[in-house]
Amino acid sequence: MSYSQPDSSTTFDKAVILGQIPFEMEDAPSVTIPLFLDRISAGFPSPADDYIEAELDINRLLVKNKAATFLVRVGGDSMINAGIHDRDILVVDKSEEPLHDKIVVAVVDGEFTVKRLYMKNGKCMLVPENPRFKSIVIGPEQELNVWGVIVGVVRKM
């Protein structure tokens, strides 16, 4: 088994990740949105509770290392039980260490995938979060390249 991780200076020429060109966060504009003081119940909120706690910058919430962060769009439902749905946008950080049980964007033998990384007792697998899919066991002849760790999910309702 060969394992590698691109450094944070890796550039994306025409690399297609999960059917989309990755969007790098380096030049992303800052977006702030009001964050309200009280949590909102599933019921009807009261206008009296309209107190803004702070301005929340979405980039600061989701992006720890701007130069090493990119976005990809998911294609498929192999990670549905982890809350990652088809067409979701994933926030991926190349500088995060791909540890056991983290969800990663990986390339196995030239194919991109999003799976949970399993590294225990000398075994390495990429595990789906949907029982309809099989785990990818990384054999001694296979090459595993982890592009980054998923640090956020963006979904339009």
Letter for the amino acid at 120? K
Same domain, 45 and 111: no
Mean pLDDT taken over the chain: 78
Residue 42 sits in the same domain as residue 54:
yes
Assign residue 78 the CATH number of its domain. Answer: 2.10.109.10
- Catalytic site residue 30? no
**Is 115 a residue of the active site?**
yes
Do 101 and 150 contact (CB within 8 A), yes or no? no
Residues 125/135, Cβ–Cβ less than 8 Å: yes
Q: Are residues 23 and 35 in the same domain?
A: no
Same domain, residue pair 97 and 138: yes
Same domain, 42 and 106: no
Among 30, 46, 115, 135, the one annotated catalytic: 115
Claim to verify: residue 98 and residue 43 sit in the same structural domain: no
Of 8, 78, 95, 156, the active-site residue reads 78
Are 96 and 103 contacting, i.e. CB atoms less than 8 angstroms apart? Answer: no
Number of domains in the chain: 2
- pLDDT for 15 equals 34
Query: How far apart are the C-alpha atoms of 95 and 98, rounded to whole Å?
Result: 9
Per DSSP bridges, beta strands 23-24 and 2-4 are unpaired
Residues 52, 76 within the same domain: no
Q: Is residue 45 pLDDT above 80, yes or no?
A: no
The predicted structure's pLDDT at residue 109: 86
Q: Do residue 73 and residue 140 come from a single domain?
A: yes
Q: Is the pTM of this model over 0.75?
A: no
Which pairs count as long-range contacts for 122-127, CB under 8 Å and 24+ apart, including other chains? Answer: 124/1, 124/3
Q: Do 53 and 106 belong together in one domain?
A: no
Using CA atoms, how far apart are residues 50 and 138, in angstroms rounded to an integer? 52
The predicted-structure confidence for 60-108, as pLDDT tens digits, reads as follows 888 888 888 888 999 999 999 999 999 999 999 999 999 999 999 999 9
CB 65 within 8 A of CB 93: yes
Domain encompassing residue 113: 2-28+65-154
